[in-house]
Chain A
Amino acid sequence: MLSKRIIPCLDIRNGKTVKGVKFLDIKEVGDPVELGALYARQGADELVFLDITASHEKRKTFADLVLRIAQHINIPFTVGGGISELKDAEILLNAGADKISINSSAVRNPQLISDMAKHFGSQFVVVAIDAKQVEDDDWVVTVNGGRIPTEKRLFSWAREAEDRGAGEILFTSMDHDGVKKGFANEALARLSEELSIPIIASGGAGAKEHFKDVFTIGKADAGLAASIFHFNEIPIPELKDYLRSHNIPVR
């Protein structure tokens, strides 16, 4: 049976893992390759590495890091941050990334999703969406780490991303991110019902119950979190035992 995926997310700045609470207050938590390998041994199903300084600084450091990750880690991983053209994606593919995640650049240039899917295959293309709830059923897509609202709305943008060839959607609720009160399950369930590609839930994990809820109520295919894993608040083996005991299929 296909299992639900648990995905630790590592934010990278200058080659080091960092975690920002609500994308702001940043402190270092360690070497990404070591941390990633530790998570892999603990039973993480995939890893996501986001270069949070990529837009501003040279990318070479990150490509070197991706190569090191690919050499040392034996589970799939996605890389993202500042990927705005095919050439960026190709460098990361050649360094050994299994998937790339695009966010702001896809909002600004939706054709990028189509081009990436055509060149590298849909399985390589994760479209990340950061959105903020403005009314009950209305979510505004934001860019630049949640700082800038756009004209786009969550559900229509997610559908467009799928139509253009995205292989997965990584949805982060900016209202839930860093708050640790659970995921945006209602919006996630709607995404999951409306789309035919896997949905990765992000933003809000603070307790084991939140993962149970995101897989049952939120109907997500994967749950992503950062700080709860980095600070070992919820060890992955313990989380998986808990989910298994609630009849949620996990590896």
Chain B
Amino acid sequence: MNGPRPILKTGLALTILGLGLAVVALVLTGFGQFSAFAAEHAGAAGEAAAAGLYGPAPKLTAADYPAIAGVNGRIVVWIVAQLHLWFAAFVLAVPIFVFIIEVIGMRTRDKRYDDMAYEFIKVSITAYSLTAVLGGFLVFALILFYPHLFTYLSTIFSESMFYYALLFFAESAALYIYYYGWHWLQGGFKKWVHLTLGLVLNAVGTTLMLLANAWLTFMMSPAGVDAAGVFGGDAWAAIHNFLWNPINIHRFVANIAYGGSIVGAYAAFKFLTATGRQERAHYDWMGYNANFIAICALLPLPFAGYYLAAEIYAYSQQMGITLMGGIFAWLFIIQAVLIGTLFLSANYYLWCGMGRSDGAKRYTKYIKYIAIVLVGAFLVWFTPHTLVLTNEELKALGGPHHKILGPLGIMPAKNTAVNVMIIFTAISFMFYRRANKIATVPWVKAGNAIQVALYTAGIANIVFLGIYHGYFTNTVYKVAASIPQVLTTLVVIAGSITLDSFIYRGSKEVGSLQWGRIPERAQYALFLLAVAFTWLMGLMGYIRSGIRQHWHVVDIMRDASPDAFTPTLGYAANVVSVAAIIFMAMVIFVFWIAQVSSNKTLPAGYWKE
């Protein structure tokens, strides 16, 4: 009996692996064919255009937008697209760090990691079907309310939309085998099979996102079409448009941070509803890890955003000014406030978490200084360029220009502030890691001195670059100097971690970490993180879409619907807030359903014996 079973199992595992590889092959060859097809098309582009295969972008009138049941089509599409995007971001991000956590579990052979990874993916399963449902809803809404736009886009992206649909199948297959096969594919070779599946899942998921990104960036920075919107036939040119990669990078990083914050909220939810000590400890640990993921992805995010904004500026000064200096500038102040909130709540969670260690007392005295710097940098970060002044203040200042606050309103000040905030968040982290350790190497003092010197030099360099290049050179230098600023931050963080690993080589532990010993307030910080993230994504998503203003496809296809106006800030914020509340309600449902599956009722006397 013992003989054939492992063989059977290995056979099954191999089949799964084969399936996984087949999916990869399908994807790759699909893309091979696709690009060959695209190249062929590019060659034939002239002919195609000459033959009138593709018409120009339609010129629409208000009558081309169907009125259906008195519903405002724009708001429907807006909210549904936003909900779809929130869930998609979550569902694409979770497998990324689940995969990483699973690898960590395999390397360390610490089963807790494996269990946590499984629990994370469990939460995302319900969210996955909601993503699909909302995606379908979105397509319907687009076809119903914006039929001509959808037709135009689908003639250009016909192949990529078809592959998208196929990939969605592959994604579902990979996800379901990955999830339902979790406990089956354990140990040795099978673990490798499972990890391969995880990799396939991530590859397919990311490809899906890249395709969808191509469609929306085409609408912002169209390529592969002429001025009248006649498609040249080169699908790759349309996909690989100017803003495609900046959006890809920004979304990829942001999704991870967002996914981390949502599972963090899940852990907080479970922590607060936990009854036993062990359960509390487990969810405290899970919340800590989720927060760690969110912060790790949050740290590079401002740079990805800055890159995207700079590219938008470079693509079109008009779009850039609309974004940062014009009507949308005030939403950027809200954005700054929310990003600051993210940093503050993440730091607060870390400080609260120091209570898990008995050795933390040595470091808590520094927390107030970190807080002062964080808040100070935060105030610079959200100081608006255009101040709201009362008439009396206007008179007192002699004009809308403020000699102190004015210079704080432009990007070099913001970049400097956000780099400083990131470095101090890293310091919070360093203290957290040190809290439970006692260094035993003889050169501790010198090591700490070097550590302080590294931070001092790094911050001095960031401030130097920000002030000198930001205010005493031209805009080319100003933008260019933001890169060494970012690198300085990264070098400081990497250097500090390396240095600490040497200082704490062979260190003693103060005591075992008391997981679960954390105030409940800290869990609300995790909730705040998730809510702020959601709202932020909604507002920024609106801006990204809104800077097209009255265009469906910028400068090519005009939006002639009665809703083509740019809404007032309050109106837009209300729509986004309503969407965020709907999303939160759905997320709570997802959390609840993840819990229900483990509930069991024993109905006494119900079933016949």
Q: Do A and B come from one complex?
A: no
